[in-house]
Amino acid sequence: MKNYTIVTMPGDGIGKIVLKEAVRVLEKAGLKADFVYGDIGWEFWCKEGNPLPERTIKLIEKYKLGLFGAITSKPKKAAEEELDPQLKGKGYVYFSPIVSMRQMFELDLCVRPSRSFEGNPLNFVKRNPDGTVIEPSIDAVIFRQGTEGSYAGVEWTNPPDEVINVFKTHKKFKSFEKVKKEDIAISTRIVTREATRRVIKEAFEYAKKFGYKSVTVAEKPNVLRETSGMFEEEAKNISKDYREIALWSVNIDAIMMWLTKNPEDYGVFVCENLFGDILSDGFAGLVGGLGFACSGNIGKEYAVFEPTHGSAPKYEKLNPSIVNPIAMILSSAMLCDHIGEIEIANKIKNAIKEVVKEGKVRTYDMLRLPGGPNAIEQGAASTQEMTDAILEKL
């Protein structure tokens, strides 16, 4: 009898490659789980006009726990062009299945840890005044609100009259009134108090549980007075219950600068959806890039874990595959933490730590090689070899 059932959604491109590797690691690490496969991604958009088919939604509803690889997304017009001819012109509109999944299953906490592994040649370094180089250890965890803000999807090009009329009630809209409607595109940034409170509270709880000294709100309340303003206000309120943790509020643009200077000073972050997306990529770049960037989308009832990278289609067909499976494997370790399998999660993280520290097996990205079929002969490990090295440590 298996303890868990995990819906595996490989998706497109390298999602298909790395998810397989993560399952190998979970099994070897001793997770007692069944894996059921779910369709998701571009293929199903083209064939069915729906990148997140109902049957996959049903699986997540049933099992509540998912591992997701990556999908290919294309802009509106390009998406329409690739639709099966029989479906064209029937009103199908492409949407990002992961963004939809977050909204549909209320996966409102998007948690993205960025931790440096000792020995990773891609780690951030800086130079002392005397020329010596230091490599600070980075341990930042970004709590990104996952369901609302700029990614809520409330947007229009050529907005309907009733929308324009509402905007006209705002005095700042005056300067846009002379622009033709078809030349206006509007994306909203909707932030609600309850969701804001929840993500901030979870960020503080996490900081408390794991001994972080600070929670930083990365917003822009001096300009985005309403939405960022609400974030800052609620953070101040909630921080009163966590006297031992410092609350810092630093503008998102300033943070993007500070993280290139002293990323080691920061601990937990909390911000809106789009800002969190940007901030987490920024931090990912300091600890190895997309090959190391893991994430969890966590709601009260459901959770889906995924690497933050995309489908990297140009590497999909390489045989052997060269992409780094660590981001996906770390994401599956996050899944283990989430379900309380802490020991298994630690085993996986320690195995990765050892492999990286040893430095004998490195994928092309870790060697700073151009990606492509020649990477292997230049000394890069294949995707499978990297996984094998991790399995060996387990």
Sites of contact with ligand NAI (CB under 6 A): 14, 18, 70-73, 98, 290-291, 306, 309-313, 323-324, 327, 365, 371
- Residue 277 binding result from Mg ion, ligand NAI, none, given CB thresholds of 5 to 8 Å by partner type: Mg ion
Smaller CB separation from ligand NAI, 70 or 271: 70
- DSSP structural state of residue 154: -
* Helix, strand or coil, per DSSP, at residue 202: helix
Give the contacts of 93 (CB within 8 A, at least 6 positions apart): 76
Number of neighbouring beta carbons within 10 Å of residue 214: 14
Q: Nearest to residue 140, comparing CAs of 290, 328, 276?
A: 276
Nearest residue to Mg ion, by Cβ distance, number only: 277
Residue 167 Cβ vs ligand NAI, minimum distance, rounded to whole Å: 29
Residue 260 Cβ vs Mg ion, minimum distance, rounded to whole Å: 18
Residue 297 Cβ vs Mg ion, minimum distance, rounded to whole Å: 12
- Residue 291 binding result from ligand NAI, Mg ion, none, given CB thresholds of 5 to 8 Å by partner type: ligand NAI
* Residues that bind Mg ion in the complex, under the rule CB under 5 A: 277
What is the end-to-end Cα distance of the chain in Å, rounded?
Answer: 23
Distance (Å, whole) CA 261 – CA 370: 27
- Residue 327 binding result from ligand NAI, Mg ion, none, given CB thresholds of 5 to 8 Å by partner type: ligand NAI
Smaller CB separation from Mg ion, 12 or 277: 277
Smaller CB separation from Mg ion, 70 or 348: 70
Smaller CB separation from ligand NAI, 323 or 335: 323
Smaller CB separation from ligand NAI, 337 or 365: 365
Smaller CB separation from Mg ion, 295 or 383: 295
- Within the chain, residue ranges assigned H as helices are 14-29, 42-48, 54-63, 76-82, 97-104, 161-168, 193-210, 227-239, 252-258, 273-284, 326-338, 342-358, 383-393
Residue 27 Cβ vs ligand NAI, minimum distance, rounded to whole Å: 20
Residue 129 Cβ vs ligand NAI, minimum distance, rounded to whole Å: 34
Nearest residue to ligand NAI, by Cβ distance, number only: 310
* Token code pair at residue 292: 């190391």
Amino acid at 246: A
Distance (Å, whole) CA 337 – CA 332: 9
